[in-house]
Amino acid sequence: MSTYPQPAPHQPQQSSPTSNKPNSQSVSPMSITRLFEKKALGEPIVMVTAYDYPSATVVDESGVDLVLVGDSAAMVVLGYPNTTPVSMDEMVMLSAAVRRGLKTPLLIGDMPFGSYEASNEQAIANAQRFIKEAGCDAVKLERGGASADRAKAIVDAGIPVMGHVGLTPQSAVQLGGFRAQGRTAARGREVIEEALQLQEAGCFAVVLEAVPSELTEALMPHLEIPAIGIGAGPAADGQVLVYHDLLGIWNGRPAKFVRQYAQVREEMVRGVSAYAYDVRERSYPAPEHGYGMSPDEAHELQNWAESLPVAPAAGKLG
Ligand code: KIV
């Protein structure tokens, strides 16, 4: 696999490792070259999903390396029961919003179910939409096998591709549901072979989802490209989590591998409930929230309004 460059000498990019503060310093944009440097240096790669402008500004300011507009948007943003219904148009619209909020991380658009399987031509045309219409830097697709052929076609068309193996939600029904994959030696071998096919196809990185840590450890010595884990143990080169899971915005049951770093949904419900209470109690809006006019102007307006016909049921029900 020689599609991607070898590491160049390290140039510090993120905030000091001794600092817990969010990354607020000016940093150079993430590149695939820099990702390979990080792998070579053993620096963990941080990836997270985002789906709109505000979440993009949050993840950008937090100093992450990679941002994925995941097809998980289907469930966490659009309310579909799984990832398969989300369309290219929906994914492009969300990705373009994320692009507008990002400065530094590499932006990856997730190719939705039905957007790449039919032919190399279909895969290239839809990958191009992510680049041209949404401003993504790269795309991601799921599975090895025929998907590795699609990945190669997209890479050959000049678009960087990230692979995804293990639990691939677009084929969850075939995989027996949303459950860990590769827990037998035979199935583990299939997952590893798929990852190697994607590497061979020219992918610049691969996501390993919901696989035993032992599988990741067995795979790592054979991967030249960065492996980004989600429920794949600590041996991967980096980790990815879904934004709504890690911030506690999603009200579904989180997967075993999720660590919640905040409970934002609780805080949102608290805020909206407090607003509803204040409106009902007439304590909002308060005088400071209103606009005024001079007494003379108010008087003139009032006189004029009084000359208008009064609505028969104004202020009354029934
Ligand atoms: O769609 C998604 O969010 C993903 C990540 C979980 C890797 O594919």
Residue 96 backbone dihedrals phi, psi, to 5 degrees: -65, -35
Residues 28-64: pLDDT tens digits?
899 999 999 999 999 999 999 999 999 999 999 999 9
Among candidate residues 209, 214, 281, 297, the one labeled active-site is 209
Residues 198-236: pLDDT tens digits?
999 999 999 999 999 999 999 999 999 999 999 999 999
> Is there an atom of ligand 1 within 6 Å of 167 CB?
no
> Is there an atom of ligand 1 within 6 Å of 104 CB?
no
Residues 132-155: pLDDT tens digits?
999 999 999 999 999 999 999 999
Clarify whether 209 is annotated catalytic: yes
> Is there an atom of ligand 1 within 6 Å of 74 CB?
no
Confidence of residue 316 (pLDDT cuts 50, 70, 90): low
Residue nearest to atom 8 of ligand 1 (CA): 70
Question: How many C-beta neighbours within 10 Å does residue 19 have?
Answer: 11
Residues 6+ apart with CB under 8 A from 92: 109, 129, 130, 133, 134
pLDDT at 18: 37
Confidence of residue 161 (pLDDT cuts 50, 70, 90): very high
Quickly tell me which residue has 């309004």 as its tokens: 305
Residue 277 backbone dihedrals phi, psi, to 5 degrees: -60, -45
pLDDT at 26: 55
Confidence of residue 237 (pLDDT cuts 50, 70, 90): very high
Task: Give this prediction's pTM.
Answer: 0.89
pLDDT at 1 over 50: no
Residues 249-266: pLDDT tens digits?
988 888 999 999 999 999
Residue nearest to atom 3 of ligand 1 (CA): 70
Confidence of residue 318 (pLDDT cuts 50, 70, 90): low
* CATH number of the 24-262 domain: 3.20.20.60
Residue nearest to atom 2 of ligand 1 (CA): 70
Distance CA 165, CA 181 (A): 9
Residues 88-120: pLDDT tens digits?
999 999 999 999 999 999 999 999 999 999 999
- What's the 141 CA to ligand 1 centre distance in angstroms? 10
Question: For the chain, where do the domains classified as CATH 3.20.20.60 start and end?
Answer: 24-262
> Is there an atom of ligand 1 within 6 Å of 166 CB?
no
Computed on alpha carbons and rounded to an integer, the radius of gyration of the chain in Å comes to: 25
